[in-house]
Structure 1
């Protein structure tokens, strides 16, 4: 299959579709080095960041492998598009439910395994989060702190899962910063997570991590229940006409 320009206005999904098609039809077999980002961007008629994001998504699910200084290689012919679509369509509530699971275990492990370098980096990431003002900047800084906790866990699978998930968390936190109806945990709650990790207290770290997510999740669940009730009421009213 030959790569063709992506229609204007298309998302990264369109780039993913083309890259996956090259792999699925055997044009790029396992072990093959794929074209460089710059070449792919030119052939697809898209920005280099769009290509980079698509490659990163396929790398996180094991389809591609990036070898520093060498290039990107096909690692598997499996098609992860269903998983990627579900992730893209996940609600903010779905995102926070998953974040709760990741964050609690990441904090627990980080309290056991963190190094001095980990703590210094987490301090910097927390400072950046506290100082962020614009919604997009805040979303990125919040996601970076949570990823930093996962990286301090020392669990390679948890780290990769969190890296795969982090863009969705970034977007969710950006949306929450713009929506005053949904609260987000402030500096004190995040400081409690870092303090417990620094103290080497796994249980306190896990509890603090849960306390960061649970209040926001409770409001999201309440809003979802309200929307479901309104939809059911509207449906019943329509059926009674």
Structure 2
């Protein structure tokens, strides 16, 4: 390995070590050279090597074994959840969204509080206004906010966090969909009534109705995505 040039040395060390691992110079299961050897080969200090190894361990590429050294675990870094979401298609996100949201709507119908119902009414009113007078971005944001309010009414913070993780990918995909098929015009005919029915099902404490309404609405959008 050639000595590194000054600049962000830790980042350069990470990049060089990753390249060596990916190229099979140190295959999975192999032990890396010691800090002193790596520091000499890379032309950096041992503290820089130590930070680079720590970053590689965080990416799932290596693991330090007490008293034994640092060993290669994988040739490619672990892919995080957000990275997977960014690569997913909107249809794939929608399929998972349906699984999460339908169950959340059923829970919301059982658990909703007065504060939840107030939030749902406000979100529905904002969505209705955005259909008529908002931009495409405002319409999509209002639609997502209503769905987020339903998920929040389920009273399970983990569900809310899962849904929030989908929002950036979902928003981009829905904006593309709105522009392709004029979904706002279609919403004036069908979507507004469906979302009003969803809120009323939650208000009435009817889990079956809430789940059925949301299933039908999400399947309708999924069909448009598959078209």
Q: Give, in whole Å, the separation in 2 of the partners of 1:117 and 1:190.
A: 19
Secondary structure of the residue aligned to 1:179 is: helix
CA RMSD, 1 decimal: 2.6
Q: 1:24 to 1:144 in 2, by over 3 A?
A: farther
Question: Taking structure 1 as reference, are residues 96 and 26 closer, same or farther at Cα in structure 2, changes over 3 Å only?
Answer: same
CA contact (8 A) 2:108 2:154 kept: yes
Matches within 5 A, 1:189-228: 189-221=194-226, 223=227
Report what 2:143 is aligned to: 142
Match of 2:102 in 1: 104
TM-score (norm 2): 0.61
TM-score (norm 1): 0.57
State the number of aligned residues: 155
Distance 1:197 1:203 in 2: 10
TM superposition shift of 1:103? 1.6
| Long gaps (5+) in structure 1 | 5-22, 31-78, 224-241
Match of 2:93 in 1: 95
Cα distance change, pair 25–160 in 1 and its aligned pair in 2 (3 A): farther
Separation in 2, partners of 1:207, 1:87: 26
CA contact (8 A) 1:196 1:202 kept: yes
- Using the alignment, how far apart are the partners of 1:89 and 1:112 within structure 2? 35
**Partner Cα separation in structure 2 for residue 148 and residue 3 of structure 1:** 42
From the superposition, tell whether residues 170 and 3 of structure 1 become closer, same or farther in structure 2 (CA, over 3 Å).
Answer: same
Q: Secondary structure at the match of 2:181?
A: coil
| Separation in structure 2 between the aligned mates of residue 198 and residue 2 of structure 1, nearest angstrom | 56
Displacement after TM superposition at 1:3 (Å): 7.8
- Tell me what 1:173 maps to: 174
- Name which of 186, 192, 197 aligns with 1:187: 192
Instruction: Tell me by how many angstroms 1:24 deviates.
Output: 8.0
2:151, 2:159 within 8 Å by CA — same for their partners in 1?
Answer: yes
Structure ranking higher on relative contact order (CA contacts 8 Å, 6+ apart): 2
Gaps spanning 5+ residues in structure 2: where?
A: 1-8, 13-50, 59-76
State the Cα deviation string for residues 30-65 of structure 1 (Å, max 9, x = none). Answer: 9xxxxxxxxxxxxxxxxxxxxxxxxxxxxxxxxxxx
Q: Is the Cα contact below 8 Å between 1:147 and 1:159 reproduced in 2?
A: yes
- Say whether the 8 Å CA contact 1:147–1:166 is kept in structure 2: no
Residue 113 in 1 paired to residue 111 in 2?
Answer: yes
**What is the deviation of 1:80?**
6.5
Structure 1 residues 147 and 25 mapped into 2: Cα distance closer, same or farther (>3 Å)? farther
SS in 1 for 2:177: helix
**TM-fit CA distance, 1:158:** 0.9
Q: 1:211 offset after TM fit, Å?
A: 1.5
